[in-house]
Amino acid sequence: MPNHFDERLEGPIRGLRLPPRVWNSLMDEGIATLDQLRAVADQLESLPGIGSKLAQVTREELARTLAPERSPSGQD
């Protein structure tokens, strides 16, 4: 049985795959860009509908998206 931590969808911020509940909360708060999300990343738990687990999922996805891409040989 899938839960709201496992289901991840692309939303209005290109490249991020987040649970629907997170997307809904972000949109309700007017957060629609990567820069806006980065600015509130340390305060996600304060947004309605986002608890500590969803905040962590969001931070991990944000970090994955912002991580520099590695070359196929493993050298940058």
Instruction: Tell me the per-residue pLDDT of 56-65, one tens digit each, with 9 for 90 and over.
Output: 999 999 999 8
CA pair distance 70, 74, nearest whole angstrom? 6
Structure tokens at 50: 């986002």
- Element (DSSP H or E) covering residue 58: helix 52-66
Residue 40 placed within a domain? yes
Instruction: Supply φ then ψ for residue 37, to 5 degrees.
Output: -65, -45
Residue 37 placed within a domain? yes
pLDDT exceeds cutoff 80 at 11? yes
pLDDT exceeds cutoff 50 at 10? yes
Residue 4 placed within a domain? no
**CB-based burial label for 4 (10 Å; 0-12, 13-18, 19+):** middle
pLDDT exceeds cutoff 80 at 43? yes
Domain that includes residue 59, residue range: 9-66
- The percent of residues in the chain predicted with pLDDT above 90, rounded, is 64
CA pair distance 71, 6, nearest whole angstrom? 28
- Predicted pLDDT of residue 67: 83
Q: Does pTM surpass 0.85?
A: no
